[in-house]
Structure 1
Amino acid sequence: MQISQADALAIVSSESFQQQIIGPMIDEFVRRLSRPGADGKAYRAFIQDWLYFERPMLDRFIGERFNVQFEGPALSIDGAEFPLGGFILRELEWVRIDPVEAFELRSELRKAVDEAVIDWIGGRPMKFLPATVEKPFPDRAAADAETAQIIRDFLGSTGKTEGVG
């Protein structure tokens, strides 16, 4: 049986589905956040910003100079999702932006992401597949070592990315 994307989204966003996954999700979050070593540190760093504000974070965009966060839950009006506000971080200072400013900036950032990805893909042959939960690596340590070698090869003997000053 195949299910349409719209039906799948309706099921996942339904109140009954959301209530059923609370316990297993919390258990999995705790398990991952409690991991020792680099994995646990990465999980904790990824959600650390969630603890700064009262409202939940909808989106986060991190650039080289700025970190922008949008607050939720979003207010849906006529098919548009409006964040309840947001913050822009520069170094160790924040500025709050109101819901209209947040909506406008979020829209611009989403367009910029799409444009950057389209430019980056360029003529690369890529095949997009249905999104499913990723299966564990047969040998995670070997997969991580292979990925680390790809990065080292990219950096070459100079230790710097090619073409980057």
Structure 2
Amino acid sequence: MSYLSPTDYLPHDAPMLLLESVESVTAESADCRVTVDPHGVLVPFLNATGDLPGWYALELMAQTVGVWSGWHRQQQGQESLSLGMVVGARELVCAAGIFPANSVLTVTVTLLMQDERFSSFECAIIADGATLATGRVNTFQPSQQELATLFKQGVSQ
């Protein structure tokens, strides 16, 4: 199966779009890829040696969850670009503290639990067969009214 670009599933624009391709999406999982490359989408975030700091693991995982959600929304005939929120991460570990320069990262998310507005995903970031980061990401899907209230309050303060 072929997939659209991550931009078709996420409400992100450069430079905040950190994924390059969607590799697979199923009922319960998604895989996306990005290369830690001095000429790629991650270039604004690379350190002096060309590595991506480990704290980007959460955003890579969250965006892959967003791709999973956007793809499913599109399959159901809904608007695929919808803002979701990370409400927490548990046991998020990036043991080396970095994603090495020139590595191809595969970000995998697997659905653990979902109700109408909350979801939980087990996540991993893998390169060359080695698991570089793992964690659980919990998300919330706000209503349009909640988003309007949130952004209105944010602007007025």
Scaled by the length of structure 2, what TM-score is found? Answer: 0.25
More strand by share: 2
More helix by share: 1
> Which fold has the larger relative contact order, with Cα–Cα distance below 8 Å and residues 6 or more apart in sequence?
2
Q: Radius of gyration: which is bigger?
A: 1
